[in-house]
């Protein structure tokens, strides 16, 4: 019987069930919507190139980009393409690969049950040949080249290269031309067998759907298939929380009109997926908004001085084995902007912008944005899927936000703002 959890403060109900084969199913019924959004995700991403395969004892090393390559190839079968099956029902389908996760999705207003079968079947039934794999190498090779010509992407990857020179987080999700040439059908089957077991996957369905009907469809689908007993996944990638291996600064030249600056702050403490870890992430994002948001006195002063323009942005990313802050944008005077950010980091928790009045305004604004985000089916599904094995989920955010204090934000600044953990990457006009 499904577990049912009602979140009264947001008016949402989350239905959950773990099937006998280990597949975790999350369902949110939104009866006022005409659309249903489904996302099937595996805890396997671009950094997971070193692991012990099923039935093995020693680590194997896969080429960079294999998770993304596998995502592409799963759609193609011997006699059809999964996109054609979705198209015949009027559904929109897609997929994506990140550093730690791969996901396959569709949105549909009709024939949801049929589309759920299509989704589960094509992801769980791999088909690879030398011919199809070699054809895909040319397609993905063009994609890699396209990203190499994007200065924004080069700036982002350059920053990760400075932060994580000895960790696969710094390698492009798509891999390199040389790495994808090494990929074989045998490697793809081996990775699929290891990471696409139902026990390592989550199906999230959000929209106008009956939870019991969805579960019945999924249960019937899975009962028709045989899976090996789940075994623990042994991964070869360890957490990188060391500042000594970082590159402090790097400059390259590209055919850009204006310089591009990225400043990173490496997290030196592991941020797990417990409720405390999620609360810390909320505190960090509140800290960044307080200091660098476009309503902050600091941002206004930098803007008036010509240090930044509306391209300036910031983010905090906390993933399995790594976490970091990124700040930057176009800048006419890169050295001055880097020095200004360094001065902020040097102050640690002693930031003039961190006042009680400003904190409360930002807290109210964050709550408003959070409640608005619950109108997005895809946003709900993606967040719940990413947190499916975590100690807190999207529907806990409001409560965690309300419990947040100014002291929590200052504590986050003390933990994260370390000059030895700061790096910069600059692209100058060629």
Residues classed as catalytic: 71
Query: Can you tell me the distance from the alpha carbon of 69 to that of 93, in angstroms, rounded to the nearest whole number?
Result: 17
357: its two tokens? 């009045």
Rounded distance, CA 292 to CA 344, Å?
10
Contacts of 119 (CB under 8 A, 6+ apart): 38, 40, 93, 104, 105, 106
Local structure of 152: helix, strand or coil: helix
What tokens appear for 204 in the block? Answer: 């999230």
DSSP string, 321-371: TEEEEEEEEE-S-HHHHHHHHHHHHHTTT--TT--HHHHHHHHHHHHHHHH
Find out whether 7 and 14 touch, Cβ atoms under 8 Å.
yes
User: How many CB atoms lie under 10 A from the CB of residue 3?
Assistant: 9
Residue 140 DSSP SS3: helix
Inter-residue contact 232 to 199 (CB < 8 Å): no
Among residues 199, 209, 200, the alpha carbon closest in space to that of 34 is found at 209
Determine the distance from the C-alpha atom of residue 87 to the mean position of all C-alpha atoms in its chain, rounded to a whole number.
27
Element housing 133 (H / E): helix 130-148
User: Looking at residue 76, what DSSP letter applies?
Assistant: B
Could you tell me which residues are beta bridge partners of residue 252? 427
Q: How far is Cα 328 from Cα 312, in angstroms, rounded to an integer?
A: 5
């Amino acid at each position: 019987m499904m577990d049912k959890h009602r979140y009264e403060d947001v008016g949402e109900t989350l239905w959950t069930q773990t099937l006998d084969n280990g597949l975790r199913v999350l369902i949110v019924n939104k009866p006022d919507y005409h659309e249903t959004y489904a996302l099937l995700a595996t805890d396997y991403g671009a950094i997971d190139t070193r692991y012990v395969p099923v039935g093995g004892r020693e680590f194997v090393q896969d080429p960079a980009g294999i998770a993304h390559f596998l995502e592409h190839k799963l759609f193609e079968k011997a006699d059809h393409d999964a996109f054609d099956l979705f198209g015949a029902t009027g559904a929109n389908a897609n997929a994506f690969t990140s550093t730690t996760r791969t996901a396959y999705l569709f949105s549909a207003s009709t024939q949801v049950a049929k589309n759920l079968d299509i989704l589960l079947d094509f992801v769980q039934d791999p088909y690879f040949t030398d011919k199809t794999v070699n054809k895909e190498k040319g397609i993905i090779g063009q994609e890699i080249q396209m990203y190499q010509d994007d200065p924004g992407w080069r700036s982002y990857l350059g920053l990760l290269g400075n932060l994580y020179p000895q960790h696969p987080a710094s390698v492009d999700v798509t891999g390199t031309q040389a790495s994808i040439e090494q990929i074989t059908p045998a490697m793809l089957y081996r990775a699929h067998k290891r990471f696409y077991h139902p026990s390592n996957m989550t199906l999230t369905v959000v929209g106008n759907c009956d939870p019991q009907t969805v579960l019945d469809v999924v249960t019937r689908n899975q009962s028709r298939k045989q899976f090996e007993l789940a075994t623990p996944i042994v991964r070869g990638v360890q957490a990188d929380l060391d500042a000594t291996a970082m590159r402090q600064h790097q400059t390259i030249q590209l055919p850009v009109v204006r310089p591009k600056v990225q400043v990173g702050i490496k997290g030196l403490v592991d941020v797990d997926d417990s409720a405390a870890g999620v609360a810390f992430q909320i505190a960090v994002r509140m800290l960044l908004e307080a200091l660098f948001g476009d309503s902050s006195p600091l941002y206004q002063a930098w803007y008036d001085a010509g240090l930044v323009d509306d391209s300036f942005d910031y983010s905090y990313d906390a993933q399995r084995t790594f976490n970091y802050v990124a700040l930057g944008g176009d800048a006419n005077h890169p050295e001055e902007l880097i020095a200004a950010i360094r001065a902020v980091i040097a102050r640690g928790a002693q930031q003039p912008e961190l006042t009680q009045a400003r904190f409360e305004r930002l807290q109210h604004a964050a709550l408003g944005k959070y409640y608005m985000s619950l109108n997005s089916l895809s946003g709900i599904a993606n967040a719940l899927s990413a947190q499916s094995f975590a100690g807190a989920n999207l529907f806990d955010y409001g409560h965690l936000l309300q419990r947040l204090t100014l002291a929590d934000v200052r504590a986050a600044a003390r933990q994260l703002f370390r000059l030895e953990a700061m790096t910069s990457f600059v692209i100058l006009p060629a």
